[in-house]
Chains A and B, each alone.
Chain A
Amino acid sequence: AQSVTQPDIHITVSEGASLELRCNYSYGATPYLFWYVQSPGQGLQLLLKYFSGDTLVQGIKGFEAEFKRSQSSFNLRKPSVHWSDAAEYFCAVGARSNDMRFGAGTRLTVKP
């Protein structure tokens, strides 16, 4: 069965500092991997996705993620965090035509 683990429930970083959000997955085959961001009371916005090819994926808002098959990880990174990045971040795994399984989410707080 597919599953996603986000080990960090809550992370606080200072504005301008770098960020890394962890995501580990369990899947029987090569997964489709996603990172979404959710602001309070809002739906989900796709940051980036990995299907195949280059394991370093660039997304919107300056985010990137790296797929590491050996570690079953798909960590999200940003070199310099902005106050507007404060939100809930979800990692998800899915496959063609199937549903997506979400991690528990990581809440990001940005200190001035």
Chain B
Amino acid sequence: GAVVSQHPSWVICKSGTSVKIECRSLDFQATTMFWYRQFPKQSLMLMATSNEGSKATYEQGVEKDKFLINHASLTLSTLTVTSAHPEDSSFYICSARDKSQGNTEAFFGQGTRLTVV
């Protein structure tokens, strides 16, 4: 199946700094990518939908100035957590839909564990 690579797998950063998480589709083109956040022992909550070449669509309650999303190419979307605080600590997962497969299935990255100290 298609592969989505997320980097880094884990990151620890100091409060007030920014962290960038990359999501790459390795062997397919993804017009649309999605970013999810998962709190411990909870489900995945959609944060935003990232469309190549246009602005991301954020879910209600997600601060777009804090969680910057860039989808500059058909194989790469980035999520930047700006001025991170401890409450931003979470597991972030991206997914991408394969354009050539009619966008019918989403493939998930392995996730990024962010810890803000």
Taking Cβ atoms with an 8 Å cutoff, the residues of A that contact B are 32, 36, 41-46, 49, 51, 90, 94, 96-97, 99-105, 107
Contact = CB atoms under 8 A, between A and B. Distances in A.
How many chain B residues sit at the interface, stated as a range, is 20 to 34
Contact of B44 (A45, A49, A51, A102): A102
Given A41-B111, A100-B34, A90 B43 contact: yes
A44 B105 contact: no
Given A97-B32, A100-B34, A102-B43, A51 B109 contact: no
Contacts of A32: 104
A104 B45 CA distance: 10
Interface stretch (B12-20, B64-72, B73-81, B95-103): B95-103
Contact of B104 (A51, A105, A107): A51
A44 B46 contact: no
A96 B109 CA distance: 19
Contacts of B97: 97
Nearest to A105: B43
B106 interface: yes
Contacts of B93: 43-44
A94 B32 contact: no
Given A32-B104, A97-B32, A105 B110 contact: no
Contact of B42 (A45, A51, A105): A105
B25 interface: no
B70 to A, nearest CB: 18
A43 B10 CA distance: 12
Nearest to B93: A43
B113 interface: yes
A14 B70 CA distance: 46
A49 B105 contact: yes
A104 B108 contact: no
A100 B111 CA distance: 16
